[in-house]
A and B are shown apart, each in its own frame.
Chain A
Amino acid sequence: GAVVSQHPSWVICKSGTSVKIECRSLDFQATTMFWYRQFPKQSLMLMATSNEGSKATYEQGVEKDKFLINHASLTLSTLTVTSAHPEDSSFYICSARDVGGAGYEQYFGPGTRLTVT
């Protein structure tokens, strides 16, 4: 149980284009999902908290107009990187909190590697 998927697992896009990453909770409902970014050999940095049916909450320093988050259902959150640039190349990992479980634990997706050329 508690499986989170991400799609795509990797993507290469050209500078200036937008790319959408999906995060799905496969066997549970998640009112809250989180998006993290990880640069090579660094830790995970929380970008934003995604709440079903409401606006995402962004961490300090994260541009909300650049990283668009939509959480339209209890099992799906999307992150759209708009007008991507090479410095946006990173490993993006989502996690989801199971409302039906104890509620405190996050379950992590397999990650999406974004390369912007």
Chain B
Amino acid sequence: ELKVEQNPLFLSMQEGKNYTIYCNYSTTSDRLYWYRQDPGKSLESLFVLLSNGAVKQEGRLMASLDTKARLSTLHITAAVHDLSATYFCAVDGGTYKYIFGTGTRLKVLA
């Protein structure tokens, strides 16, 4: 059974600081997705990672995928308050079913 874990679960950081969120998964998969969720809202797609070594960047966020280590990272550079949200990774568990990570609730303090 595919399990997806994220850490940390909660992250409180100062504006301007850097930090990394980790997403570990238990079985082989070549497709991993990152989403942002604001309170009371659905998911906003951030990144689609489709192969080993994939790296994508958008603004202050950068995501990478290491399929051999079964690990993806979401790196935040010079955080700003607007990045406060919950971030989820999701792994394609086969037959296009997504298994979501536990989520990381990020709070950026001004």
Contacts and interface: CB of A to CB of B under 8 A. Distances in A.
A46 B96 contact: no
A113 B41 CA distance: 10
Interface residues of B, number: 23
A111 B42 contact: yes
Contacts of A42: 103
B47 to A, nearest CB: 11
Contact of B41 (A41, A46, A111): A111
B103 A43 contact: yes
B42 A32 contact: no
A103 interface: yes
Interface in A98-115: 103-111, 113
Contacts of A41: 105
A43 B88 contact: yes
B56 to A, nearest CB: 14
B97 A109 contact: no
Contacts, number: 46
Interface range on chain A: under 10, 10 to 19, 20 to 34, or 35 or more?
A: 20 to 34
Given A104-B92, A109-B42, A46 B97 contact: yes
A97 B96 contact: yes
23 contacts: A32-B96, A34-B97, A36-B100, A41-B105, A43-B101, A43-B102, A44-B43, A44-B88, A44-B90, A46-B97, A46-B98, A46-B99, A49-B95, A95-B98, A97-B96, A104-B31, A104-B50, A104-B92, A104-B96, A106-B98, A109-B42, A110-B41, A110-B42
Interface of A: 32, 34, 36, 41-46, 49, 93, 95, 97, 103-111, 113
